[in-house]
Amino acid sequence: MSLEEYGGGLGPQSDVLVVTTNDVPGFRVEQVIGEVFGLTVRSRHLGSQIGAGLKSMVGGELKGLTKTLVQTRNQAMERLIDQARARGANAVLMMRFDVTEAADVGTEVCAYGTAAVVAKE
């Protein structure tokens, strides 16, 4: 797997800054817009579930599951950014992920945070 398959996050060209902190050094918060989130639910196809089951018997990383979870988190984050942008924000503060099983049919991933307008000091 390539590096992109193991991790995610924003590219340097994004017009919406996303941080996990309450504030951003060098910026001031001009307006707090409120909570925004991006949600997605993914299921795995039967072949990958069987492969993961077999792999779990012998141990080791479930690379197919890792790749699916990275894609799912990235999609949730993209939706978070779209929501923030649509509400007039140029930043999301205190971004977090919440991951849960959804009715035994998939994995629900929610990216959430506080939409805000920030400006350089």
Confidence of residue 44 (pLDDT cuts 50, 70, 90): low
Of the listed ranges 4-13, 48-57, 73-82, 95-104, the least confidently predicted one is 48-57
Q: Is the pLDDT of residue 15 over 60?
A: yes
CATH number of the CATH domain containing 60: 3.30.110.70
Instruction: Read off the pTM.
Output: 0.80
Neighbour count for residue 114 (Cβ, 10 Å): 18
Judged by DSSP in three states, 100 sits in strand
Pair type for strands 91-102 and 17-18? parallel
Residue 34, both tokens: 């409120």
Number of domains in the chain: 1
Residue 59 is part of which domain span? 3-8+16-120
Q: Is the pLDDT of residue 50 over 90?
A: no
CB 2 within 8 A of CB 93: no
For tokens 């979870």, the residue is 69
